[in-house]
Amino acid sequence: MDYSFLGNIINREVSGNKMYGLIERLYPICRSITGNGVRETLSIVSEIIPLEIIEVKSGEKALDWEIPLEWNITDAYVLDEKGDKVIDFKESNLHVLNYSVPIDKDVSLEELKEHVFTIPERPDWIPYRTSYHNKNWGFCMAHSKFEKLKKGNYHVKVDATLEPGSLTYGEYYIKGETEQEVLISCHICHPSLCNDNLSGIAVAAFLAEILTKSKPRFSYRFLFVPGTIGSITWLSRNEDKLGNIRHGLVLTLLGDEGKLNYKKSRRGNAAIDKIVENALKTKNDDYGIIDFYPYGYDERQFCSPGYNLPVGRLSRTPHGEFPEYHTSADNLDFVKADKLSASLVFLLGVFEIIEGNRRYLNLNPKGEPQLGKRGLFKKIGGESKTKDYHMALLWVLNLSDGDCSLLDISVRSGLGFPTIKEAADALIKVGLLKELNEE
């Protein structure tokens, strides 16, 4: 694909390696919906794009919710009678139940077992479990190790604090030519999990960096928020801005080997739904389209009925459809630089449509204008590309009757948007098309 406004900025391989490098740096940090792990993560992302960091105090209302106490953890372990660590947070931050209350006491094996989570079907993986709203303490471990725990007493310690503090999120706004906005959101609340949260953060951060250099027509707002409570908090404090949102995407799970999957907005026929579907269809790769349903990531909040924003979700394999989901196997081996890169390149294609979609009027609509004498039969690369381009010229001329946008023409012709856009640009140059209004 050829990107007229982004074209020269991106180098696919370098971007893939840069995104993977960012994931490697963020991977060890213990994140949660609040706390220093989130702050550290946002501060690293700020090296790429200057994020505005927002802190909202514990106890403040956010729609039907309340900002929780802030959770911070320094250590957690379980000691057997010999004093050996049978579970150690320092080996993996998934070992502790996320948001576990502090604890420091002796327990029997029976009591310990009530607070340990495992996955019997995947005996070597540590599950990721949270308890944000029910006060509980707990640990997660490999089932194979759990089965080897001997009868007797254990000492459990979670060295954590759960105190009034704040919820932290990051926001980055790129001012375009118009106030009309594109909203991009990703979640930042998972600890050492790569595809689930870190891939979305990495793709969003580098996408934002590229868009900053591209002087876009639309304004772009990037949100790096803890899942659910973060988007709810942002929505509750920014209702005055929602009217400007023309398109939106939640980004998550973009680094695995699966095909791209687009989940439609609640509206189902919003422009973003048509745009992403068209970009997927004309890409020649397998893909999936999922109708909206009220579960998943933060599209649930953006598409709640009181907002009903035109926000869809892009991922590769959806949550719950790969066994590594929410386990220690969603690690640095599970995400691939080339897949991150392909996700980013695809999104640039989506933004190319958002930025480039217009309506034109054919100024010579009676009979076909003679293209040869205007030098429009150019030779570009292979046969099929030339043929597509020629067809694109004819489609654009034929459908530019004032009703159809370039996206409509791409959909009807089955030709990729970049080819349609290139043809339209050429027709404008020779005076055969006039721009009507902005899409």
Which residues of the chain form contacts with Zn ion (CB under 5 A)? 196
Work out how close the CB of 320 gets to Zn ion at its nearest, in angstroms, rounded to a whole number: 9
Q: Which is nearer to Zn ion, 196 or 324 (CB)?
A: 196
Q: Following DSSP, what letter does each residue of 264-275 receive, concatenated?
A: PPTTSSSHHHHH
Q: What is the DSSP letter of 327?
A: B
Work out how close the CB of 426 gets to Zn ion at its nearest, in angstroms, rounded to a whole number: 46
Work out how close the CB of 128 gets to Zn ion at its nearest, in angstroms, rounded to a whole number: 7
Work out how close the CB of 227 gets to Zn ion at its nearest, in angstroms, rounded to a whole number: 7
Q: Which is nearer to Zn ion, 190 or 221 (CB)?
A: 190
Query: How far apart (Å, rounded) are the C-alpha atoms in residues 207 and 174?
Result: 11
Q: Which is nearer to Zn ion, 253 or 427 (CB)?
A: 253
Q: Do the strands 103-108 and 52-57 form a parallel or antiparallel pair, or are they unpaired?
A: unpaired
Q: Which is nearer to Zn ion, 196 or 299 (CB)?
A: 196
Work out how close the CB of 370 gets to Zn ion at its nearest, in angstroms, rounded to a whole number: 58
Lookup: tokens for 403: 């009703």
Any idea what the Cα angle at residue 314 is, between residues 181 and 204, rounded to 5°? 60
Other Cβ atoms closer than 10 A to 66:
12
Work out how close the CB of 132 gets to Zn ion at its nearest, in angstroms, rounded to a whole number: 13
Lookup: tokens for 137: 């303490």
Work out how close the CB of 125 gets to Zn ion at its nearest, in angstroms, rounded to a whole number: 15
Q: Which is nearer to Zn ion, 181 or 196 (CB)?
A: 196
Integer CA distances (angstroms), 347 to 224, 252, 350, 364, in order: 17, 12, 5, 35
Q: Closest residue (Cβ) to Zn ion?
A: 196
Query: How far apart (Å, rounded) are the C-alpha atoms in residues 357 and 348?
Result: 14
Q: Which is nearer to Zn ion, 196 or 273 (CB)?
A: 196
Q: Which is nearer to Zn ion, 196 or 256 (CB)?
A: 196
Q: What is the Rg, in whole angstroms, of the alpha carbon atoms belonging to the chain?
A: 25
Integer CA distances (angstroms), 37 to 64, 98, 100, 175, 188, in order: 26, 12, 15, 29, 9
Tokens 């892009």 belong to which residue?
Answer: 314
Q: Residues for the chain: how many in total?
A: 439
Q: Which is nearer to Zn ion, 196 or 355 (CB)?
A: 196
In which element (H, E) is residue 312 found?
Answer: strand 311-315
CB-based burial, 220-255: b 16+ in 10 Å, e otherwise: bbbbbbbbbbbbbbbbbeeeeeeeebbbbbbbbbbb
Query: How far apart (Å, rounded) are the C-alpha atoms in residues 153 and 105?
Result: 10
Lookup: tokens for 351: 């933004």
Lookup: tokens for 397: 């001329």
Query: How far apart (Å, rounded) are the C-alpha atoms in residues 99 and 115?
Result: 13
SS3 state of residue 229: helix
Integer CA distances (angstroms), 434 to 216, 255, 407, 410, 411, in order: 21, 41, 16, 18, 21
Work out how close the CB of 324 gets to Zn ion at its nearest, in angstroms, rounded to a whole number: 12
Work out how close the CB of 224 gets to Zn ion at its nearest, in angstroms, rounded to a whole number: 15
Q: Which is nearer to Zn ion, 196 or 422 (CB)?
A: 196
Query: How far apart (Å, rounded) are the C-alpha atoms in residues 254 and 297?
Result: 13
Q: Which is nearer to Zn ion, 28 or 320 (CB)?
A: 320
Work out how close the CB of 326 gets to Zn ion at its nearest, in angstroms, rounded to a whole number: 6
Q: Which is nearer to Zn ion, 324 or 422 (CB)?
A: 324
Work out how close the CB of 196 gets to Zn ion at its nearest, in angstroms, rounded to a whole number: 4
